[in-house]
Chain A
Amino acid sequence: MKLHEYQSKNIFSKYGIPIPKGRVAATAQEAKQVAEELGGRVVVKSQVLVGGRGKAGGVKLAKNAAEAEQLAEQILALEIKGLPVRKVLIDEASAIDQEIYFAITNDRAAKKPVMIASAAGGVDIEEVAAKDPDKIIKVHIDPLLGLREYQARDVAVGIDLPRDYWKDFTKIAMALWNVYKETDATLAEINPLVITKEKKLIALDGKMMIDDNALFRQPELAEMRDTDEDAPAEIEARKYGLSYIKLDGNIGCMVNGAGLAMTSMDVIKLFGGEPANFLDVGGGADSKKVAAAMRIILTDTNVKAVLFNIFGGITRCDEVARGILVAMDEVKPKVPMVVRLVGTNAEEGRKLLENANMITAETLADAAKKSVEAAKKESK
């Protein structure tokens, strides 16, 4: 789960990381008010959960409150990479001397958290990593020991931070570690961390991602979820405990198991089709879940055919087939359905579905071919 900049910076601030004075606003009027309170020059920053806000015109500098209102009006009307801007953050403008990149994230290969820092901050760190890997330093953290101060100093030295700033930087690093650890973040990023003309370190921008699997113990963070970036069908799927991701093709997929679901998409593509979605319906033969999955797939009007690919293991195929029949009866889909059942009691399952006006297939390759054909026919 991603957090907005203003949410991330509020958390940073609670842990003692200096941030610019500012507040979030939902209307231009409100933006003006905040700018008036702050006085002087302010930055108006769109709050959307994608990168590249600056390039898209979503971050602007205003000389005074009147201009802040005007810019907020413009920015609140924007759509950035398909996401509507619903809020702007009004921050007092800082006089910047240097921009630093500093983050703590998971290194899955090392199986440890890692601090990443670069003196080349303020830009996309992945670009720096690609072009100039020497400019990035990484220090791993033992998850059982936690971050030690000497490691933070090592980072300060690594990015050539002048000695005068080591103490403040170490404080910020320790605070960011506490943020990362206590919020179950998978990313806590300050980009840029700036040195101001007044010789202060301030987190000018912030980004956080929280581990969905840890939200059970982070109820306050769970409530901050902004579902704007999710397709409505993805939100609906989450309610039923289904894993659904919308794609651009026209062949809907319903599969049990994540690996097999990805594979089914791949095989559709291999035989000349385009998958409309990823959907893992999970184990079991619960007809309610199957019906919900069917409804969700069919909300996508691009879908011209649906492929069911079910491997019956402990769950028997005839049970799954009965679940599908109940769901078919309830949803009454109008596009062709291709079903492939394999594994335990597949034969019995197939027989049950033969009378259900479904196209049956034995192998995955065969099922993919048939669904590609069916979608083509349906598109004519």
Chain B
Amino acid sequence: MSILVDKNTRLLVQGVTGNEGLFHTTQMVAYGTQVVGGITPGKGGEWVLEKIPVFDSVRAAKENTDANATIIFVPARFAPDAMFEAADAGIPLIICITEGVAISDMMRVRNYLDQKNVRLIGPNCPGLLTPGEAKVGIIPGNIAIPGNVGVVSRSGTLTYEVLYAMKNLGMGASTCVGIGGDPVNGTNFVDVLDMFEHDPETEKVIMIGEIGGNEEEKAAEFIRTKMTKPVASFIAGQTAPPGKRMGHAGAIIEGGEGSAADKIKALEAAGVKVAKHPEEIPTLLS
């Protein structure tokens, strides 16, 4: 067991013929993920990697493949349309890797998707990895091993760092979920914590947060009131100055909200062990 993706995931790739899309499709297929089709408008009928059919629309791909998830690798200005299209075609799980989507677009996408009962992961995220079963995204497959620790994070390479430290200690992950670094995204910490709480395979959870917004505080409240499984955490950006966007669109302390100190305080008050540096996180759970 795992959450969101496993060996039964039948994946579409939107933007499959682009540089990024093709590169990562190759990596995902090599990992063993079932990539059943790709979408590039105007290239329907072509094939990639000799065995993956390309369609003109998500609807056509869905009809011909019975896909149950899609991943988006299109440039930021086209990504909102790609998300709307996937939702309209009835794909229940959408993963958007694209960075730089305008926040006004994301507010429209999120409010529309909420009416459709569709789960969106991202945007601006590394995607999902269920070690040994499916890689749906850009997380390097070789840095994690299967196990019982659920990992959820707003970051990319920082997450890899933690997965790698876990692997070095022989600690494996049930599923790793990158929810992304944007201020408005599809899935937040509480959603994923809830899934981990209900996943029999997940016994412990690592949550990697950062400055900006109040999702970590909401997570702390959820952990305090609803979770039985132990959670360890790390919050990046303790030295970040207020008012500056630290790389991620959502990583900004503004209006007196979003500091690392506040988040750490809330998490510790909820009984979460908060690491001083990322290499320490796995040791807090062993």
> In this assembly, does A232 line the interface, its C-beta being within 8 Å of a C-beta of chain B?
no
Whether A262 contacts B103 by the Cβ 8 Å rule is no
Q: Is the CB of B236 within 8 A of A363?
A: no
| Given A259-B156, A278-B246, A364-B279, A109 and B108 contact (CB-CB distance below 8 Å) | no
Contacts of A109 in B (CB 8 A): 213-215
Tell me whether B160 and A313 are in contact (CB under 8 A).
Answer: yes
Q: Are B104 and A259 in contact (CB under 8 A)?
A: no
Residues in B whose Cβ lies below 8 Å from that of A261: 246-247
B277 close to A (CB within 8 Å): yes
Interface string of B84-102 (1 = CB under 8 A from A): 0000000000000000111
CA distance A342 to B168 in the complex (A): 12
* Residue A344 at the chain B interface, CB threshold 8 Å: yes
User: In the docked arrangement, what's the CA distance between A259 and B212, Å?
Assistant: 12
Q: Given the complex, which residues of A lie within 8 Å of B244, measured CB to CB? A: 245, 278
- Chain A residues with Cβ under 8 A from B108's Cβ? 143-144
Complex: A148 Cα to B213 Cα, angstroms: 27
Flag if A365 contacts B277 (CB, 8 Å): yes
CB distance from B93 to the nearest CB of A (A): 19
CB of B107 within 8 A of CB of A113, answer: yes
Q: Is the C-beta of B228 less than 8 angstroms from some C-beta in chain A?
A: no
* A311 in complex: contacting residue of B164, B184, B234, CB < 8 Å: B164
Nearest-CB residue, chain A, relative to B237: A262
Q: Report chain B residues within 8 Å CB of A77.
A: none
Residues of A within 8 A of B260 (CB): 266
Cβ B107 vs Cβ A257 within 8 A: no
Q: Report B144-168 CB contacts with A as 1/0, cut-off 8 Å.
A: 0000000001111111110010000
> By CB atoms of chain A within 10 A, which of B104, B164, B181, B279 has the most?
B104
Are A259 and B112 closer than 8 Å at their CB atoms? no
Residues of B within 8 A of A243 (CB): 246-247
Q: Are A111 and B184 in contact (CB under 8 A)?
A: yes
Specify which chain A residues have a CB less than 8 angstroms from the CB of B197 in the assembled complex. Answer: none
Tell me how far the C-beta of A207 lies from the nearest C-beta in chain B, rounded to whole angstroms: 14
Cβ contact within 8 Å between A275 and B160: no
Q: Say yes or no for A258: interface residue by CB 8 A criterion.
A: yes
Proximity bits, A310-340, B CB within 8 Å = 1, else 0: 0101100000000000000000000000000
Indicate if A181 sits at the interface (CB-CB under 8 A): yes
Q: Which of A9-17, A22-30, A162-170, A208-216 contacts B (4 or more CB under 8 A)?
A: A208-216
> Is there a chain B Cβ closer than 8 Å to A191's Cβ?
no
* Residues 226-245 (chain B) with a chain A CB within 8 angstroms: 234, 236-241, 244
Q: How far is the CA of A109 from the CA of B189 in the complex (A)?
A: 12
Q: Which residues of B have CB within 8 Å of A313?
A: 138-140, 143, 157, 160
Q: How far is the CA of A266 from the CA of B261 in the complex (A)?
A: 12
Docked complex Cα distance between A247 and B237 (Å):
13
Tell me, in angstroms, the Cα distance from A348 to B111 when the chains sit together.
48
Q: How far is the CB of A147 from chain B (nearest CB, A)?
A: 13
Whole-angstrom distance from the CB of B47 to the nearest CB of chain A? 24
Q: How far is the CB of B108 from chain A (nearest CB, A)?
A: 5
Q: Is A53 an interface residue (CB 8 A)?
A: no
A261 vs B210: C-alpha distance in the bound complex, in angstroms? 11
A142 at the interface (CB under 8 A from B): yes
CB–CB A267/B277 < 8 A: yes
The reply to whether B277 and A343 contact each other, CB–CB distance below 8 Å, is no
Interface size on B, residues (CB 8 A): 60
Complex Cα distance A106/B142, Å? 39
Does chain B have a CB within 8 A of A263?
yes
Which interface residue of B77, B111, B154, B250 has the most chain A CB atoms within 10 A? B111
Contact at A263–B140, with CB atoms within 8 Å?
Answer: no
> Which residues in A have their C-beta under 8 angstroms from that of B246?
243, 245, 258, 261-262, 278
B164 touches A343 (CB 8 A): yes
Across the interface, A314 reaches (CB within 8 A) one of B27, B104, B105, B279, namely B27
B189 nearest CB across to chain A (Å): 12
With A and B bound together, what is the CA distance between A364 and B278 in angstroms? 8
Q: A115-133 toward B: CB 8 Å interface, digit per residue (1/0)?
A: 0000000000010011000
- Chain A nearest Cβ from B201, distance in angstroms: 24
Q: How far does the Cβ of A43 sit from chain B's closest Cβ, in whole Å? A: 27
Q: Does A256 belong to the interface (CB within 8 Å)?
A: yes
Counting chain B CB atoms within 10 Å of each CB, the highest count among A113, A256, A266, A343 belongs to A266
Contacts of A108 in B (CB 8 A): 103, 183-184, 213, 250
> Closest residue of chain B to A315, judged by CB?
B140
Besides A211-B103, A259-B181, 16 other CB < 8 A contacts? A106-B103, A111-B111, A112-B107, A126-B256, A213-B100, A258-B181, A259-B210, A260-B157, A261-B246, A262-B240, A265-B240, A266-B260, A311-B157, A311-B160, A313-B138, A314-B27
Question: What is A's interface to B at a CB cutoff of 8 Å?
Answer: 106, 108-109, 111-113, 126, 129-130, 142-144, 181, 184, 186, 211, 213-214, 216-217, 243, 245, 247, 255-263, 265-270, 275, 278, 280, 311, 313-314, 342-344, 363-365, 368
By a beta-carbon cutoff of 8 Å, the part of chain B in contact with chain A is: 27, 76-77, 100-108, 110-112, 138-140, 142-143, 153-161, 164, 181, 183-184, 208, 210-211, 213-215, 234, 236-241, 244, 246-251, 255-256, 260, 276-279
Q: Can you pick out 23 interface pairs between chain A and chain B where the beta carbons lie within 8 Å of each other?
A: A109-B214, A112-B111, A144-B111, A217-B77, A245-B241, A259-B153, A259-B157, A259-B158, A261-B247, A262-B236, A262-B237, A263-B278, A265-B239, A266-B238, A267-B277, A269-B238, A278-B246, A311-B160, A313-B140, A313-B157, A314-B140, A343-B160, A344-B140
